[in-house]
Amino acid sequence: MIEFTDVHVRLGRRDVLSGITLSLTERRVGVVGANGSGKSTLARLINGLAMPTSGTVTVLGHDTRRHAARIRREVGFLFTDPDAQIVMPTVAEDVAFSLRRKGLSAAEVADRVEQVLSRHGLADHADHPAHQLSGGQKQLLALCSVLVLEPRILIMDEPTTLLDLRHSRVVAELLAELPQQVVVVTHDLGLLDSFDRVLVLDEGRIVADGLPSSAIDHYRKLMS
Ligand SMILES: Nc1ncnc2c1ncn2[C@@H]1O[C@H](COP(=O)(O)OP(=O)(O)OP(=O)(O)O)[C@@H](O)[C@H]1O
């Protein structure tokens, strides 16, 4: 589903990613590594927010360089800070905003918004000002605004960094239930326990790749 072929990313005078070749088919993929090791850049390459300097990234059979708009429709991206993603005054309006280019009737939009908010425990907050939600609720809202578009792949960049333990658990449970392929960049190692595959990045290279236990072990040794 997601293919990297000898991908290099150079930003300014820095090699941010070097020689990444990967084929990601697993449903739950985690990415860990030190600050600045290139995790976010790797995540952003998957939905065409970043482009390789050389090499290719192919997602659902499409080269991200040639089909960025199409790939962004199929690949949802959740940022660390939900405030960066919330654009409308109320919860329901924010989710509806995601659907603005779908050509749906007002009734269809309202129906889809209602469904996604109910599924994620925000139905009672539909008319609340979005910016007055708690951090955890904002993260859920940002997720609803992405999921309402029914992406085939979901990328999450440090989704639990700003959340307390309870809300982190909510996100972890939600992750377990989502039907789509999910790639999660995180420093929250517990989140990855049930994942199918974990990549460890170090200075722009993949230095470990495997089941969570062995990859995280490698990462801990790297950091010690
Ligand atoms: N536009 C840019 N121009 C120059 N350097 C950049 C740019 N964007 C990112 N970098 C550098 O690329 C490196 C990798 O950044 P990236 O955000 O991918 O790392 P990360 O592993 O996600 O880090 P963190 O855990 O701190 O979020 C960093 O050293 C960063 O300073």
Residue-wise pLDDT for 183-207, tens only, equals 999 999 999 999 999 999 999 999 9
pLDDT of residue 64: 96
Q: For residue 153, what are the contacts with CB-CB under 8 A and spacing of at least 6?
A: 1, 2, 46, 47, 59, 60, 74, 75, 76, 180, 181, 182, 183
Confidence tier at 28 by pLDDT (50, 70, 90): very high
pLDDT of residue 3: 98
Q: Are 191 and 181 in contact (CB under 8 A)?
A: no
State if residue 40 touches ligand 1 by the CB under 6 angstroms criterion.
Answer: yes
Total-model pTM: 0.93
State if residue 12 touches ligand 1 by the CB under 6 angstroms criterion.
Answer: yes
> How confident is the model over 95-146, as pLDDT tens digits?
999 998 888 999 999 999 999 999 888 999 999 999 899 888 898 999 999 9
Q: How does 30-39 read in b/e, with b if 16+ C-beta sit within 10 Å?
A: bbbbeeebbb
pLDDT of residue 173: 87
Stretch 145-149: mean pLDDT: 94
Q: What is the DSSP letter of 8?
A: E
Q: Is 83 exposed, middle or buried (0-12, 13-18, 19+ CB in 10 A)?
A: middle
For residue 187, give Cα distances in angstroms to 95, 107, 162, 220. 28, 41, 11, 11
Q: Which atom of ligand 1 is nearest to the CA of 185?
A: 22
Share of the chain above pLDDT 70, in %: 100
Q: Are 148 and 116 in contact (CB under 8 A)?
A: yes
Q: Are 60 and 9 in contact (CB under 8 A)?
A: no
Stretch 9-31: mean pLDDT: 96
Q: For residue 211, what are the contacts with CB-CB under 8 A and spacing of at least 6?
A: 196, 197, 198
pLDDT over 90 (residue 7): yes
Confidence tier at 170 by pLDDT (50, 70, 90): confident
Q: What is the CATH number of the domain that holds 54?
A: 3.40.50.300
State if residue 35 touches ligand 1 by the CB under 6 angstroms criterion.
Answer: yes
**3-state DSSP assignment of residue 56:** strand
State if residue 47 touches ligand 1 by the CB under 6 angstroms criterion.
Answer: no
pLDDT over 90 (residue 165): no
> Which among 78, 6, 8 is positioned nearest to 50, based on CA atoms?
8
State if residue 51 touches ligand 1 by the CB under 6 angstroms criterion.
Answer: no
Mean pLDDT of the chain: 93
The DSSP result for 76-139, as a single string, is: EEE-S-GGGT--SSBHHHHHHHHTTTS---HHHHHHHHHHHHHHTT-GGGTTSBGGGS-HHHHH
> How confident is the model over 94-109, as pLDDT tens digits?
999 999 888 899 999 9
pLDDT of residue 171: 86
Confidence tier at 161 by pLDDT (50, 70, 90): confident
Question: Residue whose CA is closest, atom 18 of ligand 1?
Answer: 38
Residue type at 146?
V
Q: What is the DSSP letter of 53?
A: S
Q: Distance between CA atoms of 47 and 167, rounded to whole angstroms?
A: 26
Structural domain of residue 18, as residue ranges?
Answer: 2-223
pLDDT of residue 166: 83
Share of the chain above pLDDT 90, in %: 79
Confidence tier at 174 by pLDDT (50, 70, 90): confident
What is the total count of domains within the chain? 1
